[in-house]
């Protein structure tokens, strides 16, 4: 049987993930499209350098959310992913 402390630690993980997400949102929310693209390409370059870039994971995520995107949004993100290869 699970212990109460296990559930509590899961809550902490969820709270940390939410805090991280909100922190990132706050960091990027006022950037224009050009600035966002620059940040994206900088991050991808960093990940490629350190070997942590996972194109397949991004492609899988896009396919998983495809039903929630308009066809034009899907195509735009797909084109962006192609640029990241």
Q: Are 58 and 81 a contacting pair, CB within 8 Å?
A: yes
- 57/21 same-domain check: no
Gap between the Cα atoms of 25 and 17, Å rounded: 12
Host domain of residue 45: 32-85
The one-digit pLDDT tens for each residue of the chain (85 residues) are 455 455 555 556 667 888 988 998 899 999 999 999 999 999 999 999 999 999 999 999 999 999 999 999 999 999 999 999 8
- 52/20 same-domain check: no
How far from each other are the two terminal CA atoms of the chain, in whole angstroms?
46
Does pTM top 0.75 for this prediction?
no
- 43/65 same-domain check: yes
């Amino acid at each position: 049987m699970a212990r109460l402390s296990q559930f509590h630690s899961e809550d902490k993980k969820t709270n940390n993930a939410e805090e991280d997400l909100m922190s990132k949102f706050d960091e990027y929310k006022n950037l224009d499209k050009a600035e966002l693209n620059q940040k994206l390409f900088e991050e991808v370059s960093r990940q490629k350098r350190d070997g942590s870039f996972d194109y397949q994971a991004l492609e899988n995520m896009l396919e998983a959310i495809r039903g929630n995107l308009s066809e034009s949004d899907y195509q735009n993100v797909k084109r962006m992913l192609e640029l990241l290869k």
